[in-house]
Chain A
């Protein structure tokens, strides 16, 4: 990944990703526990968000 002034704001936004991922992932774990079966697909998406992000980061930089 190259650093340039153009992607500074994107860099800043992405740096917040750990917080966003933590909230999404935690919400998924709790949703699966507290909500009924109908909400499970949403919960799976939340719990699986870290895997999506990891795959995306790897694909972007290894392609």
Chain B
């Protein structure tokens, strides 16, 4: 954001002015949004820990080695609790031995009003309800939900996601233009110089340069992966509308979805899918008819066991009525990129120390934004 002062090096004065303009305006336009993203991102780094801390569900008392219970009775109990409703999806939690059954009045209602989706928590080993269903839990806005919504879509759905994605893109442009300006700025100065004892503006400028260049790689990775994450909705829509639809064209994709009574056992579908991928672990089941999957098939997401493949989710299709395996669906490159970008944005892939580093680097990013804003403010054109 500050105007260049030092030797211009290989850049001519005109080019330097243009880069300074790009840096100033890409930063200024996005700064407030980025400050919001950095601040809301702080608690989200520890969402897993905060979730466990706030979770009032009793811990499972099953001894080690206890086999997991069948999912079918859990689904049956969920339907008994909410007769006439639709099973939306099932999530198998890895760290807490729990199975979550998501229900909705109907798929159409869930699409119109996502807050109508509610969840029942089951102990993965005993198959019993881990806590009684709480109808008031539906659509309740918790602190973490508030942070997540502000961080991802500003309560504006796809429009909010695209807006924040654009702000992330401006952030990446600000970083690139900042690097271009850094070179002529710092050509005659030692790395990391903080000219204490000079003007306040110069000290802020030195701090801005030092923090910005030191944390550049992290800010670039988190900014760029943030942009990719904000495109998740259109990416999955494109995948469902193109690749998945083409794959299912011959499988009555446009026929009506089977009712719950017509569906094959979901446990059998899980077993069939996992038998075809012995080194994978099931993570979730999307029910037939769910707009997030296929109208006729269980869509079973699984993940691998190596550090990298544990971040890559693979979908497998199982015919809803017969429970027969259709096969694994190959993920397009853009969804692979999306999946790899998630841990690199969340910082949740190498334990608590990495999360603490993520927090400190997030604070560095906030300092870069605030110092940039200050530098612009003290040098802004004023009316004579």
Which of A's residues lie within 8 Å of B, judged by CB? 1, 3, 7, 10-11, 14-15, 17-18, 21-22, 25-26, 29, 32-37, 40, 43-44, 47-48, 50-51, 53-54, 56-58, 60-62
Stretch of B144-152, B189-197, B328-336 at the chain-chain interface = B189-197
Q: Is B360 an interface residue (CB 8 A)?
A: yes
- B194 in contact with A47 (CB, 8 Å): no
Interchain Cβ contacts within 8 Å, total number: 102
Judge if B67 is at the interface, Cβ distance under 8 Å. no
Tell me what chain B mostly uses at the interface: helix, strand, loop, or mixed: helix
CA distance A32 to B195 in the complex (A): 36
The smallest C-beta distance from B45 to any residue of chain A, in angstroms, reads: 13
The answer on a CB contact under 8 Å between A51 and B217 is: no
6 residue pairs A–B, Cβ–Cβ below 8 Å: A10-B190, A17-B191, A18-B179, A32-B349, A43-B354, A47-B354
**Distance between A9 CB and nearest chain B CB, rounded to angstroms:** 11
On chain B, which size bracket covers the interface?
A: 35 or more
Given the contacts A44-B350, A51-B357, A21 and B214 also touching, CB distance less than 8 Å: yes
User: Is there an interface contact between A15 and B186, defined as CB atoms closer than 8 Å?
Assistant: yes
Q: Does B218 contact A (CB under 8 A)?
A: yes
Decide yes or no whether B221 CB sits under 8 A from chain A: yes
Task: Among A26, A47, A60, point to the contact of B357 (Cβ < 8 A).
Answer: A47
Judged by a CB distance under 8 angstroms, whether B307 is at the interface is yes
- A33: chain B residues at CB < 8 Å are 307-308, 311, 340, 343-344, 349-350
A25 to B218, CA, bound (A): 7
